[in-house]
């Protein structure tokens, strides 16, 4: 039979060590909570467009944003941030932005209030009207307009149709009013440019035709009531950093290494 006296003595000798260990763990937890609070306050109080100049804030934002992106954004924009043409979810991995100019504050506003989300502060100035369904353009005219738009970055064989489409773009179609007369888009309206190869719904003929005929009404939800303010800002910082890295990569001489 085990003698209970030595066991009790051993327990009494262990209690101080257990208490000390618990105290250390508590102190570590408190210090971690204090640091978390301080970083949160700095993240929210710093001018959003100045945050990229603070490496520690960027690292903190990344730690919050990566799991949040995976949980809430990847289902539409993809785990690789390349977007989804079927859903009309834009590519977030490049330096091309529909609204404003891709600053942290610009991105944060879109995340907070969304696009056509129903929130009164949502980006909702306009959307793509159904020029075929409302009979503003005929099927033949839509074909010409689609070929003109595609021709800007990928020359088409039927240049006569392209010429007719160019005229429609500037006149009857009233496309210039949103996409601008040079087809470079308008960040005030969220009207995409046709002068690059970054397509929201896809740049093939059938998809472009359908966009003109039926219109587009893409929606991004408002996250203001769903995510904590620090997470929204962290996502904006994270997406901005990804965008800037893509921009640096694109502008680097061929074969050159690009570092963060």
Residue span of the structural domain in which 23 resides: 1-45
Tens-digit pLDDT string for the chain (260 aa)? 555 656 656 556 656 756 655 565 655 566 557 689 999 999 999 999 999 999 999 999 999 999 999 999 999 999 999 999 999 999 999 999 999 999 999 999 999 999 999 999 999 988 999 999 999 999 999 999 999 999 999 999 999 999 999 999 999 999 999 999 999 999 999 999 999 999 999 999 999 999 999 999 999 999 999 999 999 999 999 999 999 988 777 666 655 544 33
CA nearest neighbour of 201 among 120, 125, 96, 89 = 89
- Residue 257, in any domain of the structure: no
- Residue 258, in any domain of the structure: no
- Residue 130, in any domain of the structure: no
DSSP 3-state helix, strand, coil percentages of the chain (rounded to 5)?
Answer: 55, 5, 40
**What pLDDT, on a 0 to 100 scale, did the predictor assign at position 260?**
38
186 with 146, same domain: the answer is: yes
- Residue 228, in any domain of the structure: yes
**What pLDDT, on a 0 to 100 scale, did the predictor assign at position 248?**
75
CA nearest neighbour of 233 among 53, 33, 82, 41 = 41
């Amino acid at each position: 039979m085990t003698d209970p006296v030595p066991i009790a003595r051993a327990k009494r000798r262990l209690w101080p060590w257990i208490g000390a260990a618990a105290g250390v763990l508590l102190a570590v937890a408190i210090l971690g909570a204090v640091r978390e609070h301080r970083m949160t306050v700095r993240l929210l109080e710093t001018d959003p467009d100045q945050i990229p100049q603070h490496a520690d804030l960027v690292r903190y934002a990344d730690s919050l944003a990566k799991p949040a992106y995976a949980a809430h954004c990847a289902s539409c924009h993809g785990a690789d941030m390349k977007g989804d043409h079927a859903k009309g979810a834009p590519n977030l991995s490049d330096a091309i932005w529909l609204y404003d100019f891709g600053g942290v504050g610009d991105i944060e506003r879109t995340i907070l209030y969304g696009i056509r989300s129903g929130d009164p502060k949502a980006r909702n100035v306009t959307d793509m009207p159904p020029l075929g369904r409302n009979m503003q353009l005929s099927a033949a005219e839509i074909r010409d307009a689609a070929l003109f738009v595609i021709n800007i970055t990928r020359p088409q064989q039927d240049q006569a149709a392209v010429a007719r489409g160019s005229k429609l773009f500037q006149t009857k179609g009233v496309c210039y009013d949103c996409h601008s007369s040079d087809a470079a888009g308008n960040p005030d309206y969220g009207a995409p440019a046709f002068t690059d190869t970054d397509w929201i719904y896809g740049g093939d003929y059938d998809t472009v035709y359908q966009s003109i005929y039926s219109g587009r009404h893409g929606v991004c939800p408002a996250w203001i009531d769903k995510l904590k303010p620090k997470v929204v800002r962290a996502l904006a910082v994270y997406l901005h950093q990804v965008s800037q890295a893509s921009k640096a990569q694109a502008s680097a001489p061929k074969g050159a290494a690009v570092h963060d």
